[in-house]
Amino acid sequence: MSTKEELKARICEIIDQRSQEVIGIAQHILENPEPGFREQKTARFVQEQFDKLELPHKDGLALTGVKSWVDGGSPGPTVAVIGELDSLRVFEHPKADPETGAAHACGHHAQIGMMLGAAMGLRLSGVLSELAGRVVFFAVPAEELIEVEYRDGLRRDGKIEFIGGKPELIRLGEFDDVDLAMMTHTTSVPDDRKLALSGTNNGLVVKQIQYVGRGAHAGGSPHLGINALNAAMLGIQGINALRETWRGDDTIRVHPIITRGGDAVSAVPSDVRMETFVRGSNIDAVLEWDKKVDRALRAGAMAVGAKVHITTIPGYLPLNNNQDMAGLYRDNAVQIVGEENIGFTGHRTGSTDMGDISQIIPTIHPYTGGATGIGHGADYLVHDWEQAVINPAKVMAMSVVDLLYGDAAKAREVMGTTRLPLTKDEYLKLLRGFAREEEWQG
Ligand SMILES: [Zn+2]
Ligand SMILES: [Zn+2]
């Protein structure tokens, strides 16, 4: 029987030996970006990597997800190491696909590298016989909440129910066998240092809005028209008028865009479309602002006598990091990068569907440095591959050892002491409760 520290040293040695291959995986994905639910090439590439490691895998989960697993020497809990497959769309990014604009401007390519690096370390070091339970390596689709219209089409065609990858995988039961979950996201924020533990993130719902008015000659007979653009602008003004009622701790974010503003300048706009997210730090705040935003949108229709059609689509739930798991991760991170290079992110007002996982499974979502530029921007690039891919691969694999060592006592302890906000059934009920379509005539 080896000590935990001996097992961790063997894993890190393997990951170091394979570091060029692991970094190469991340770089290959950087060169072949695909947005969510379209990650066919990326998924095939991940399948090939699992094949090379002689690991079994299930493919095509939530359209493109790939799930692999490996067992320890005795039965026990399952820990998932997750990486996200999808890119964003940023046409100006130097690594953008010139046709689709797909670009890895959020660092998910590094995540697939580190997930596979952790898989190599655990698989090839021979440590598994001294661990209990199972490790799942999970390449998951569609974390970025973009292309809402495309995904709504998939939803209406019955190909998916939820427009994010992890909610969809939860619905399909692909997290039913997972007891603990972890991933590491890249960051370019200098204050995060080399590895950062994270606190919480906002959750959100998505709204698609259509104002329907009546077209008429804008110069000759505007009195015969109903101006849908004016209705939309008043709807936005209504949201803006509510901003002073936000409570600080709820960290509300509502940021609408107009995606269709009129068709001909000589005609009164009759069909104006908008999209918005409604974000908040807790589920109650999202529920409250979901309704307030609808009220403001209806006011725009009422003022000019237009009709408003509001489609609300469930987005992501707020993220809570499990502090016990964060503690182990931190201890391992200190070993790899040193105490002085550990950061803490506090609350973030963006959103991730790792939040959904964290509502039903003990979860951590720490950050790794190694990137520069603005997240989701044209200049977001990994410059330190060792930090962005190799170090988090080691820290995650080491944390798996802590959880599953011996009889997986630590994993069992975390599972026994964590009070999760929701069961899977409550989660699905909550998400489905957000989904609705409303038509309102002003
Ligand atoms: Zn992102
Ligand atoms: Zn991301």
State pLDDT tens for residues 120-131. Answer: 999 999 999 999
**CA atoms within a 13 Å half-sphere pointing along the CA-CB vector of 138:** 28
Q: Would you say residue 273 has pLDDT above 90?
A: yes
In this structure, the number of other CB atoms found within 10 A of the CB of residue 222 comes to 13
CA of 82 from ligand 2 middle (Å) equals 12
Burial class (CB in 10 A: 0-12, 13-18, 19+), 313: buried
The pLDDT value given to residue 373: 98
Strand-pair category, 307-314 with 436-441: antiparallel
**CA atoms within a 13 Å half-sphere pointing along the CA-CB vector of 144:** 25
List CB-based neighbours of ion ligand 2 within 5 Å: 106
CA of 225 from ligand 2 middle (Å) equals 44
CA of 405 from ligand 1 middle (Å) equals 33
Q: In this structure, is the dihedral angle defined by the CA atoms of residues 319, 364, 408 and 75, taken in order, positive or negative?
A: positive
Ligand of minimum distance to the alpha carbon of 108: 2
**pLDDT band for position 1 (cuts 50, 70, 90):** confident
Ligand of minimum distance to the alpha carbon of 185: 2
CA of 143 from ligand 2 middle (Å) equals 7
CA of 377 from ligand 1 middle (Å) equals 10
Distance of CA 322 to the CA centre of its chain: 17
**pLDDT band for position 56 (cuts 50, 70, 90):** very high
CA of 127 from ligand 2 middle (Å) equals 31
The pLDDT tens digits of the residues spanning 159-184 come to: 999 999 999 999 999 999 999 999 99
In this structure, the number of other CB atoms found within 10 A of the CB of residue 179 comes to 21
CA of 53 from ligand 2 middle (Å) equals 26
Cα 1 to Cα 129, 401, 412: the distances in Å are 10, 14, 20
Ligand of minimum distance to the alpha carbon of 186: 2
CA of 281 from ligand 2 middle (Å) equals 18
CA of 288 from ligand 2 middle (Å) equals 27
Ligand of minimum distance to the alpha carbon of 375: 1
CA of 185 from ligand 1 middle (Å) equals 9
Cα 236 to Cα 211, 260, 268, 295: the distances in Å are 12, 14, 19, 11
Q: Would you say residue 116 has pLDDT above 90?
A: yes
Q: How far apart are CA 18 and CA 384, in angstroms?
A: 16
Distance of CA 127 to the CA centre of its chain: 31
CA of 389 from ligand 1 middle (Å) equals 17
Bridge partners, residue 308, by sequence: 211, 440
The residue among 231, 230, 258, 256 whose CA lies nearest residue 243 is: 256
The residue among 62, 90, 71 whose CA lies nearest residue 177 is: 71
**CA atoms within a 13 Å half-sphere pointing along the CA-CB vector of 301:** 24
The pLDDT value given to residue 159: 98
